[in-house]
Structure 1
């Protein structure tokens, strides 16, 4: 399981995505699970990171899911109309 940092703002997005993709490439399983339980400060860049990570995971043939996505971020995804891209693969989306 890969873990999002406590803070994920635009200035950290590129580094966070790089870290997630690097972690994904080092995993041997068929699941790409992101734990967002520690994420407490974020902007819409967090959604961009999750969407790009999802794309990378699916391109590698892995199942994508998110655990414990903060409800405020889930609401933001719904506002932008991308909640289904995140929730369709993630039954544990919101904590």
Structure 2
């Protein structure tokens, strides 16, 4: 099964960029068949705030609602650390 590829995370994802990025993802999701896995490339991300976590968690919720597994490629360690501090690290892996 071919995965639905979401727009890659930008180099900067803060509160200023979060809404527009999430809108781009939702446009891609709207055309994706239900149940098809999603892939997200996070390797370019290097400047972010907690809004990046909010975006990732929103995408995770939407994937679950559509019955789609998801995978994040290249998630920076700093994002994993921040997710751990917020107690949501395990939510970013499945």
User: Which ranges of structure 2 fall in alignment gaps of 5 or more residues?
Assistant: none
**Residue in 2 aligned with 1:51?**
57
* 1:76 equivalent in alignment to 2:47: no
* Partner residue of 2:39 out of 33, 56, 62: 33
Where 2:38 maps in the other structure, the secondary structure is: strand
Aligned-pair CA distance for 1:30: 0.7
How high is the TM-score relative to the length of structure 2? 0.87
* 1:6 equivalent in alignment to 2:29: no
Where 2:58 maps in the other structure, the secondary structure is: helix
How high is the TM-score relative to the length of structure 1? 0.86
Aligned-pair CA distance for 1:74: 0.6
Aligned residues: 88
Aligned-pair CA distance for 1:64: 1.5
User: Which ranges of structure 1 fall in alignment gaps of 5 or more residues?
Assistant: 90-95
Deviates more, 1:53-62 or 1:25-34: 25-34
The RMSD of aligned alpha carbons is 1.2
Q: Distance in 2 between matches of 1:59 and 1:84?
A: 18
